[in-house]
Structure 1
Amino acid sequence: MRGRSAAAALLAVVLGLLPVAGAAEPARVAVRVGDHPGHGRIVFDWPAPPAFTQERQGDRLLLRFPPGSAVDLAGARRPPRNIAGVAQEEGAIGITLRPGARPRVFRLGSRIVVDALDPAPAAATAPPAAERSAPLAGGPGRGRRAARRAAVPVVAAPPAPVAAPLPMVAMAELLPPGAIMPGPAAPDPVPASASPPILAAPAAVPALPPTAAALPVRLLAQPGRDRGILLPYPAGTGAVLLRRGETMLLAVDDVTPLNLAALRHDPVFGGLEAEAVPGGMLLRLPLAPPAALRARREPRGWVLEAHRPAELRDTTTGSRPMVLAAEGDPASRLAIHAAQPTRVLTVTDPESGMPLLLGLVAAAGQAMPVPRRLPELDLPETLLGVAVLARADRVVLRAGADRFILGAVGARLALDGAAAQPAAAPAMTRAFDVPTLPPAQLLERVRSLQASTAAMPPLTRAPQRRAAAEALLALGLPQEAQAMVALGMAESPSAAADPAMRALAGAAALLAGRLAEADPLRDAALPESDELTFWRAALAAALGNPGAAAPGLAATLPLLLDYPAALRARLLPPVALALAEAGVVAPLQRLLAAAPPGLDLSLARAVLAEVLGRPEEALAGYDRIAAGRDRQARARALRRAVELRLAIGQLEPAAAARALETALYAWRGDEEELAARLRLAELRRLAGDPRGAMALLRETEPLFPEGAAALRAGISGAFVAALEGESPLAAVAMFDAYPELLPPGEASEQAVLLLAGRLMALELTDRAAVLLRQATERATGAQRASLGMRLASLRLGEGDAAGALAALEQSAVAEVPAPLRRSRTILQAQAEARSGRFSDARDLLRPLGAEAQEPLAELLVEAQDWPGAAAALGAHLRDSIPPLPAPLDEPQQRLLLRQAAILALAGDEAGAAAVRAEYAPRLPDGPISEAFGALTADPMRGLTDLPRLQQELQVFRSLPRRLEAFRAGTSLTR
């Protein structure tokens, strides 16, 4: 018979060498971050390709990995660009995107990569177009110069094919010159003398009440399909489907009203509204993304189905692709090839209020899933048919036999990547009447206007004041022009209420550098015109957004070149620089070629050389500008030269920081200096000088109170970086001196825990405890509860159970997340057990149910209640190990071995036999399998069992050495 005492001693050795099941964690998944051109990146370094799912919730992205995954987010404490934060949530990793950032998730080998792409450059969009009939207010002869000539062709480069949920092929298909599109719906060409068409949105028509002639809309019972409705329109009825914001729009070219009574209480389609528009019906359905609709054609009519985005790809089977192509020689318009186009409806865009031209098709499966942006218009993404958002009043869309024709009167369109050729200056619409006269005649005009104004009654002087202001603007005297407008608005109430007068004042303020006073240019009440588009784009460029300004500037370059010389000389350099910084090459090259020879455009030429990939030429240009007398151009050239040398590897971050510091005082007192100081602080951090970065930003804070938010974020980031880089004692001194510099929220907690961990690594546990206590006292809410739990864990690890309980009590708050509450309860139960109050510990763990079985087993092991520990750990085994024939992983093997040891100590031979029968086939060969077999083997019953006893003794002798590898990186709970 086996000696009970000897076996118990050997099993106790095994139990002591085994790591605690609760502390045995799977291999931790490291997280790396990085900034790259165009995107920030987070990489999850998995040892093997994991299964995962992703979920988008507005600006948040949730990644769900297999249960039990241990993702170490320490590497993401400082998120990359476009990402506001990364946090561990219940069952998921939450990534918060910055506004406008676009996520891209993909697998690279065994790694999971999340890219946060930069926001798409937004063109300088204009306010809604209003109907215009004739000249602006201000007297006869003061109006726009309307576009008078026909469309001029342009060659358009084909866009690259893009994979999309719904099929649409983007390619160039140049038709023979002079080809005429067939089809009864094509209107006659616009004569050269005709005015540009006005695409004002039609007045809203109230929804029609159901009548006896209304078509009944029915809900469809579709086994195996999504919820849908049937619109019983006859064959040949065209439709278009797209999303605009939170609303799905469906338009049909049938004016028959709809009876929506059957949908009144439906949870999806109950909010559907129908509105009559000229030529058809417009249906609106509030449906928040990512949910969407899809349309399919049945013999009974059009069917709309609500679907999940992942199912969209399944709807493309058998659909006929649409083709976008340029037409003319050179191309002057675009053709969108489609199957069964019917007609074009014009409605008001619910997002922007601009005209929305809808091209309807009678065949399903045709869409434009890739949005495009041209200077004159947008082609938004559609789920069926074609949509054109007209940002200029000369845009035309008409239906042909097998295509839609898209054009612009007086302008030439181009596909993505091709330079659009704008109309000539006489064909462009005007907002102001800037006279193109020689300077001497302009001065004489100003004198004459002032003399005539003095003889007029004050309430009638507004037209004269406006004309004088326009003449002063033409002379390049914006301050005087703005003062003249202010005088006219003070004299006449009608002038003060005139949006065109206010816009003229805004243009003068922009030219004078008073950007805060240029807001009247954005007035939505202003009639749309090419000149207003130019000034709004110039305002966007002056505000530091060249990407948004470039489309409007490129479309109105002839208007700029038509201005008088003095005004052109003041506008052309900033316009050229904005085009260069936006990377719009072709329009910039045309502008540089047409610029007067005496105008200094060297900075724009240097930036263009950098954009074209000629760094040596760009650096030579920057160095020449830096030696010049123009202070602002000198400062910009110095900073761009530093950035370019850093990008091509001629400078390291430390040297770049020193070079940028010498250029810091070349230009003072505005947003450019603030941007330079922020960039210098970032370079200092990259060079390993976070203290220097923090000092610079703290010096900047009182100088630029308007940039407090960006500066505060930079100071907090530099402070955390300094805590990481300094020695532990120096970091503690910094923390004590500047606790207010900690970043808010979870970042603050991570910084405190990092510092506490560094102190504990030096065995300065008392100092770490003081640090955690101070941080806990300053924190509030869930952060206070989390820090208090960390302090209690530290106290308990030092054997101070009473201190752990006190820390938990002092950090108790009302609202705590459920995972944190469970962790605090388990820690409290362990502290109670260490204090000898096992019954209280059991009472604390009992409400947690299955989640408390493993910590309860550990408490019972400490109390040497082997049967109770075996029962608790057995319940945990049944919950944590799935009943599948798959082999067990390493943490599950160690947990099973611990259960076998506890059963042996409890003398439960039946339980050991049951565990062996259930789990032994799933254990791979190895030291754990051998030890498990020895612990669960049948007891010795005679001399025939002596060879087996010798074999088991040999296993136990070698077990400490073979299990030593499993002790690394773990801690034991005694």
Structure 2
Amino acid sequence: MSGQVDHILLPIPPQIGIAAFESGDRFIIVVDNAFPMETQAIHGTGFFSSLTVSLLPDATLIQLRRPDTRRLYLSQRSEGWVLSDKQPSSASTQDNHVINPLPVTDGILYPMRRSGRVLTIADPASGDRLLVGTSLLDEGGILAMRRAEGYDVWPTLEGVVIAARDPDISLIAVPSGLLLNRDGQKFEDDGQAVYANDVDLKWLDLQNFPDQILLKRYHERLLKAADSQPADRFAARLDLARAAISMGAFKEARGILAVALRDDPEEIGRPEVRFLAAATELLTGSPANASALNGPWPEQQRRALQLWRALYLEATDQSDTRSLHRLALDMNRLRAYPQNLRDVLLPIAAEAIARHGAPGDFAVLDTLPDQPAFRLAKAIAAERQGQKDRAYTAFAALAADRNISVAEKATEEKIALDHERGTLTTEQQVKAFDGLILDARLAGREKQLRLRQAEAYARDKQWQKVAEIIDLGVPQSDPSHYSTLRHALLLQALTGIAGEDSLAQSKTQQLHNAALLKAHIPALPPGEERAALLAAYGESMLALGLSDEATSALSQAIPSLVTPETRAAAGASLAQATLANQKPSDALAALNETESPNLPEPLQTRRNILKARIVIATGDRAKGLDMLRTIPGKDARLLSAQSHESQGEWQSATTELRSLAKEEIPAEGSLTKDQQDLALRLASDASRAGDNASSRWISERIGTRTLDESHARLFAVLRESPANDKSLHEDETSP
């Protein structure tokens, strides 16, 4: 809501009656006269900005889309009616402000001080025929829906709304209120309190009777189905299946429907039958067979089935903010379901909202009973809102609950909070999760728990362990949030493995990482991510000296790489691999196909050096050396020296290396392995060239600084040997 606006004034005169009720995701006010109102004059903003006003021949229809679960209030003032999402300060007894029906001689009376007119309209959400009785004064409304033979009484905020299925049901304005009757005759109010008004309840035929009555009703319908004629057989079986659902016998209902549809398969074309079949699959724990709940459905039925669609999406781990909001809007509706259904569905909805719903929907959890499953949902919501201590206390208490599913989930959350608090290391957290595996398996949550272990290792960047856990305990599944997270974690792990510095790893570790990449890449969907990992695998093969394998992987990866930089880097590696296979023309093609302007300087330098190597490899050594002289950095000069060494041009190689050593080898301080390699290489080439000056220079440059054992031994020999002593070169390893 924008600013401090929490109410709007509807300028409806006191001589005009209104009725107010909810239908689907709309709040509707019916004004019993065609009374023009300017929406701009109402100044609806924020939550109230969706308010619309439309004129009917003898009425005005005001509609407001409800984006969340907040409660609305109506109160009357001298200048009109106030619609607000805050309880008026003068209405502290608002919860008791209801119309209570009374049986009278000629029907059922809804008492009012001053009733307005009765209108007949079509419900904007469901299309049902509604009899709308308005009130001129603030009388309140009907607290809960009642379903009876031939009609439903809807809950209202003001006035009376009757969904009349039988044409002989009428609602009449009388001096003492509104009178409901059938053909002017008295009849009993035999309705049962339910909550919603949508077709799913009609199709399910839910009845909130005691179990004994439900069982009797089931037996009566069982006998009726057994005695039915072929023409009536399917309808009788359908009634029997509905009776089974009301008493919680979901498997029996599914079996009854299966037999009925086997004998009359064409009946599945009826929407109420298709819905019932899908609902029984959902209730029996087979959501994969309940996909019909996800549509498509005709427009009039779609809104009515949103609750069950939301339940289906949650059962298949595909829910989103919108479907969870639907569950929040319909939480009271679920609470009013018969107990056998409510006990199954309400905990699922509550936990779904707590785990993945929008924080604005959490308020519906506060009205739930004080039971373990709902305490768990409230604790999860509290944790998401940053109330960690409150959540931790609840999880600790619920960890000992007799319900194994509640206990396992609570313990899981407590362990995660212990790690967040720093009382458990990552390894201890994973081990604690290991101790829950049996309980998680019994609760049907083993793969989810293993996924949490993988998440723990991922936060610690232990990529090999992430991949190992996913491979061993987190199987692939149909599309869902679980499979999405599994894929993301596996991709994260593989990317982490691919990005590790191979120079800092042993050859065994390099081989292990390469094997992990090779094993998983084929299962990844085509695209840039797969190509990036394939390129990384090619790089690892190149580092291990397996140029054929590197060439194959990089050739496959390059066409799917998107950014110029990644293509250019992979092209450089492919060129390097093909050069190793003595195919300079293929190497040049790899560079040309991945050429791009404005590449980072180190990458461009690498590619320029490769171009020089290609020129040298094709026989134009002089041109290649000229190219290397224009390329900055030590790599170009080392390659130039290597070219001279390969031709026995020791003096030229010595000159190149001495120039580089002046820049790379400091006059004092410890020396890295690369610096020691350069010093040894310069001393060796100077010895071969008979360049005593360069030999003395590098000897003095190193001085008395400590070298690695192998470097120290060879450097000592070179220091003491005459420049033309050929024997010392026989034991040298060329760099």
**TM-score (norm. length: structure 2):** 0.53
Give, in whole Å, the separation in 2 of the partners of 1:181 and 1:491: 61
The answer to whether structure 1 residue 675 and structure 2 residue 448 are counterparts is yes
More off after superposition, 519-528 vs 733-742 = 733-742
Instruction: Report what 1:638 is aligned to.
Output: 411
Contact kept? 2:294, 2:309, Cα under 8 Å: yes
Contact kept? 1:642, 1:660, Cα under 8 Å: yes
The answer to whether structure 1 residue 519 and structure 2 residue 314 are counterparts is no
The answer to whether structure 1 residue 334 and structure 2 residue 48 are counterparts is yes
Query: SS of the residue aligned with 1:668?
Result: helix
Shift of 1:719: 4.7
Larger radius of gyration: 2
The answer to whether structure 1 residue 504 and structure 2 residue 286 are counterparts is no
After superposition, the C-alpha distances for 1:788-807 in whole angstroms (9 at most, x for unaligned) are: 63365599xxxxxx859635
Evaluate the alpha carbon distance shift between residue 539 and residue 793 of structure 1 in structure 2; reply closer, same or farther with a 3 A threshold: closer
Higher helix share: 2
In the TM superposition, 1:198-597 aligns within 5 A as 324-325=44-45, 334-335=48-49, 373-374=67-68, 392-393=125-126, 425-426=194-195, 428-431=197-200, 432=203, 433-525=205-297, 527-528=300-301, 532-544=305-317, 545=319, 547-582=321-356, 593=367, 595=369
Q: Which has the higher contact order (CA 8 A, sep 6+)?
A: 1
Shift of 1:568: 1.9
Shift of 1:439: 1.4
After superposition, the C-alpha distances for 1:760-801 in whole angstroms (9 at most, x for unaligned) are: xxxxxxx83714553124442463996563365599xxxxxx
Contact kept? 1:579, 1:588, Cα under 8 Å: yes
The answer to whether structure 1 residue 727 and structure 2 residue 505 are counterparts is yes
Give, in whole Å, the separation in 2 of the partners of 1:620 and 1:321: 51
Give, in whole Å, the separation in 2 of the partners of 1:627 and 1:552: 32
Structure 2: gaps of 5 or more residues: 28-39, 71-122, 129-153, 158-192, 522-529, 560-567, 632-735
Give, in whole Å, the separation in 2 of the partners of 1:643 and 1:173: 39
Query: SS of the residue aligned with 1:617?
Result: helix
Give, in whole Å, the separation in 1 of the partners of 2:265 and 2:518: 53
Instruction: Report what 2:543 is aligned to.
Output: 768
Shift of 1:434: 0.9
Amino acid at match of 1:746: A
Give, in whole Å, the separation in 2 of the partners of 1:670 and 1:599: 15
Contact kept? 1:693, 1:718, Cα under 8 Å: yes
Picking from 762, 772, 783, the partner of 2:558 is 783
Shift of 1:665: 3.4
Instruction: Report what 2:534 is aligned to.
Output: 748
Query: SS of the residue aligned with 1:552?
Result: helix
Give, in whole Å, the separation in 1 of the partners of 2:372 and 2:156: 28
RMSD over aligned CA atoms reads: 5.2
Contact kept? 2:538, 2:551, Cα under 8 Å: no
**TM-score (norm. length: structure 1):** 0.41
Give, in whole Å, the separation in 2 of the partners of 1:594 and 1:810: 69
Amino acid at match of 1:562: A
The answer to whether structure 1 residue 816 and structure 2 residue 593 are counterparts is yes
After superposition, the C-alpha distances for 1:129-161 in whole angstroms (9 at most, x for unaligned) are: xxxxxxxxxxxxxxxxxxxxxxxxxxxxx246x
Shift of 1:670: 9.1
Shift of 1:392: 4.2
Shift of 1:745: 0.9
The answer to whether structure 1 residue 179 and structure 2 residue 14 are counterparts is no
Shift of 1:821: 14
Give, in whole Å, the separation in 1 of the partners of 2:326 and 2:316: 15
Contact kept? 1:791, 1:807, Cα under 8 Å: no
Give, in whole Å, the separation in 2 of the partners of 1:196 and 1:702: 39
Evaluate the alpha carbon distance shift between residue 425 and residue 579 of structure 1 in structure 2; reply closer, same or farther with a 3 A threshold: farther
Amino acid at match of 2:572: M
Shift of 1:500: 0.8
Identity of aligned residues (%): 21
Amino acid at match of 1:505: A
Contact kept? 1:474, 1:564, Cα under 8 Å: yes
Length, aligned pairs only: 473
Picking from 580, 583, 589, the partner of 1:806 is 583
Amino acid at match of 2:345: L
Give, in whole Å, the separation in 2 of the partners of 1:825 and 1:193: 72
Contact kept? 1:509, 1:515, Cα under 8 Å: yes
Structure 1: gaps of 5 or more residues: 1-157, 161-170, 183-187, 200-319, 327-332, 346-356, 360-370, 377-389, 396-408, 413-423, 757-766, 796-801, 843-853, 860-974
Evaluate the alpha carbon distance shift between residue 855 and residue 652 of structure 1 in structure 2; reply closer, same or farther with a 3 A threshold: same
Instruction: Report what 2:469 is aligned to.
Output: 696
Amino acid at match of 1:731: Q
Instruction: Report what 1:25 is aligned to.
Output: none
Evaluate the alpha carbon distance shift between residue 825 and residue 373 of structure 1 in structure 2; reply closer, same or farther with a 3 A threshold: same
Query: SS of the residue aligned with 2:313?
Result: helix
After superposition, the C-alpha distances for 1:382-417 in whole angstroms (9 at most, x for unaligned) are: xxxxxxxx994589xxxxxxxxxxxxx9778xxxxx
Evaluate the alpha carbon distance shift between residue 803 and residue 529 of structure 1 in structure 2; reply closer, same or farther with a 3 A threshold: closer
Contact kept? 2:458, 2:466, Cα under 8 Å: yes
Amino acid at match of 1:790: S
Evaluate the alpha carbon distance shift between residue 856 and residue 410 of structure 1 in structure 2; reply closer, same or farther with a 3 A threshold: farther
Amino acid at match of 1:555: L
Give, in whole Å, the separation in 2 of the partners of 1:839 and 1:681: 53
Give, in whole Å, the separation in 2 of the partners of 1:195 and 1:694: 50
Give, in whole Å, the separation in 1 of the partners of 2:235 and 2:399: 46
Give, in whole Å, the separation in 2 of the partners of 1:480 and 1:835: 79
Evaluate the alpha carbon distance shift between residue 788 and residue 804 of structure 1 in structure 2; reply closer, same or farther with a 3 A threshold: farther
Amino acid at match of 1:831: R
In the TM superposition, 1:878-957 aligns within 5 A as none
Shift of 1:741: 3.4
Query: SS of the residue aligned with 1:745?
Result: helix
Evaluate the alpha carbon distance shift between residue 786 and residue 551 of structure 1 in structure 2; reply closer, same or farther with a 3 A threshold: closer
